[in-house]
Structure 1
Amino acid sequence: MVQALRSARGHLAKAAQLLRSRTAESQSLPRPMSLPAALAAFMPPASDLQQRPPGRSATSAASAPPPEATTQPPHPSHPTRHYRAIWLSDIHLGTAGCQANYLLDFLKHNESDQLYLVGDIIDGWQLRRGWYWPQSHNDVVQKLLRKARKGTEVIYVPGNHDEVARQFDGLAFGDITVREDAVHVTAAGRRLWVVHGDLFDGVVQHARWLAYLGDSLYTLILAINRHFNRIRARLGFPYWSLSQYLKHQVKNAVNYINSFEQAMVDEARRRGCDGVICGHIHKAEIREVDGQLYCNDGDWVESLSALVETQDGELQIVYWTTLLDAPATAGRRTVATA
């Protein structure tokens, strides 16, 4: 972990140095090298820059080849896609790490019959420490309320960061229904248990102080991630999650994720469901675990991902790392198919 942080700090320092010397180099060199080409020597390797492993088939996860990444050039007239259902979680409104502009862009270009908000929509932990609520966060709330008013069935399943909302289980606010958990039936007839997942996190349940400490460290890493990607954007590189990269290099974190997935599918089986849809660990995934379908819709502070169900009942993970309504920049919108 320490080595990975030092490596990230080195990337930031070198990028800043190149930015400061750009003008001087352009005057001294007869044919200046492009800045992206100059950075290629010390940027993370191409294998690390792949933002997320693609989703795999629920029936042949081990053998199915990864789907081709699709790139859609940013354009304000990009057509709106309509899904049977969309799952969003871990938005963390009220924190500086929330990628509200990307989420707003996603909500503008994607509609659904049902919309599940799978916990940690508002970060009450951070708001208790200090108030942070820019206009873009308010716009997200208004956008969700507007979708509910226009006929989308919006179901809010609170998580640990917005657990205060659990006391309103079964009530509706502004056409949004609050549920402790839910069961979604796909077009193919599969029953999927929808829950945030924090109740199966031993740290959150039995060592709350440790969870708060981890949350503070995580916030620091996200701050580094924001500065890192600000430099990448200026240099013409697409969004890349430094925080995800660091987390996946730590063996204990990988073991924790595997244990979490196993606990979730075991509980879904006990409830008579065919699988589970959750959030909480900020790692988007679609795969089979012991004959059960495990789906995690990711988050909107690191992976910028959502889980969707097409009208044909196909589950997909959508990574929204390009602002379609922004000026054309290097970026990618990747769709991973289940």
Structure 2
Amino acid sequence: MTHYRAIWISDVHLGTSGCQANYLLDFLKHNEADTFYLVGDIIDGWRLKKSIYWPQTHNDVVQKLLRKARKGANVYFIPGNHDESARQYIGMSFGDIQVVEEIIHTTVDGKKLWVTHGDLFDGVMQYAKWLAYVGDNLYSLILCMNRYFNLVRIKMGLQYWSLSQYLKHQVKNAVSYIADFEHIMAREARMRNCDGVVCGHIHKAEIREIDGLIYCNDGDWVESLSALVETTEGELKLVFWKTILGDPAPSIANAEQLNTQTRITPSLEEALV
């Protein structure tokens, strides 16, 4: 079991066949934190409006998060565009999980990080929402293909690999959109007198400096299978959980070895240099 000061996860998309709930559940079993931030799109309300898909593993993820809150962890839920209906409950708590519009996280060394999903600063979401729905349908089709592709890879003993993520990073317009989004989020963080931002929304895990600010995207649990963490020493890292460890829980040394092999690990200080 590895203990962190904070863990950020987003874009889980519970309620869809593309959600890798078994990987997230395994991650939650082997990692604890003083504070958990659920940075939007945890439940996919768009997809659930069309059809009900809710296997036991999706329910287990919800129960696991509720259990962590009951045991004393601070758990904050920042709704995104796919679970935007939860925004009507901002300021309320459900099962010790607090629903907030956005929040400021202060690191060990006093850096202020603005935490928000990011859809409210996405031009497509704000001015061409119909296009976002069309893109979501195409995305779901690719994820369906990706699901069967990875079933074959798992049988061959290979790690999870995202076809959708590969295609997205090969398309020039998609790469440009991601870069624009990242700069917008950094600019908004500066306007809030913060030292950086933590967001989700675009399904691209990243830690880097933009115009002197720290930009962190915790990725997703559809393509990246990633979370952002802050260690007890104040180091920010991305953890990519593409291998299921299973039960019983491994030793701390074994869990740390997996994380070291599969994550991007620049410290906050290194990222700001």
TM-score (norm 1): 0.74
Q: Deviations over 1:7-52 (max 9, x none)?
A: xxxxxxxxxxxxxxxxxxxxxxxxxxxxxxxxxxxxxxxxxxxxxx
Q: Name the SS for the 2:187 alignment partner.
A: helix
Instruction: Give the alignment of 1:264-303 within 5 angstroms.
Output: 264-303=185-224
1:18 corresponding residue in structure 2: none
1:169 corresponding residue in structure 2: 90
1:322 aligns with 2:250: no
1:336 aligns with 2:264: yes
* 1:204 alignment partner, one of 121, 125, 128: 125
1:192 corresponding residue in structure 2: 113
Structure 1 counterpart of 2:209, one-letter code? E
Q: Name the SS for the 1:318 alignment partner.
A: strand
Q: Name the SS for the 2:153 alignment partner.
A: helix
1:147 corresponding residue in structure 2: 68
Distance 1:236 1:164 in 2: 40
Larger radius of gyration: 1
Structure 2 counterpart of 1:336, one-letter code? I
- What stretches of structure 1 move > 2 A for 4+ residues in a row? none
Q: 1:326 to 1:245 in 2, by over 3 A?
A: farther
CA RMSD of aligned residues (A): 1.1
1:260 corresponding residue in structure 2: 181
Distance 2:89 2:105 in 1: 20
Q: Name the SS for the 1:96 alignment partner.
A: coil
Distance 2:215 2:41 in 1: 19
What is the CA-CA distance between 1:257 and the residue it aligns to? 0.3
Distance 1:262 1:238 in 2: 32
1:83 corresponding residue in structure 2: 4
Q: Identity of counterpart residues, as a percentage?
A: 69
Distance 1:112 1:236 in 2: 31
Structure 2 counterpart of 1:251, one-letter code? K
Q: Name the SS for the 1:209 alignment partner.
A: helix
What is the CA-CA distance between 1:170 and the residue it aligns to? 1.2
What is the CA-CA distance between 1:236 and the residue it aligns to? 2.1
* 1:239 alignment partner, one of 157, 160, 171: 160
Structure 2 unaligned regions, length at least 5: 249-257, 267-273
1:224 aligns with 2:137: no
Structure 2 counterpart of 1:169, one-letter code? I
Distance 1:325 1:132 in 2: 24
Q: Name the SS for the 1:307 alignment partner.
A: strand
Structure 2 counterpart of 1:152, one-letter code? A
Structure 1 counterpart of 2:139, one-letter code? Y
What is the CA-CA distance between 1:326 and the residue it aligns to? 7.0
1:102 aligns with 2:102: no
What is the CA-CA distance between 1:240 and the residue it aligns to? 1.1
Q: Name the SS for the 2:148 alignment partner.
A: helix
1:11 corresponding residue in structure 2: none
Pick which of 233-242 and 202-211 moved more.
Answer: 233-242
1:58 corresponding residue in structure 2: none
Structure 2 counterpart of 1:164, one-letter code? S
Q: 1:247 to 1:157 in 2, by over 3 A?
A: same
Structure 1 unaligned regions, length at least 5: 1-79
Structure 1 counterpart of 2:164, one-letter code? S
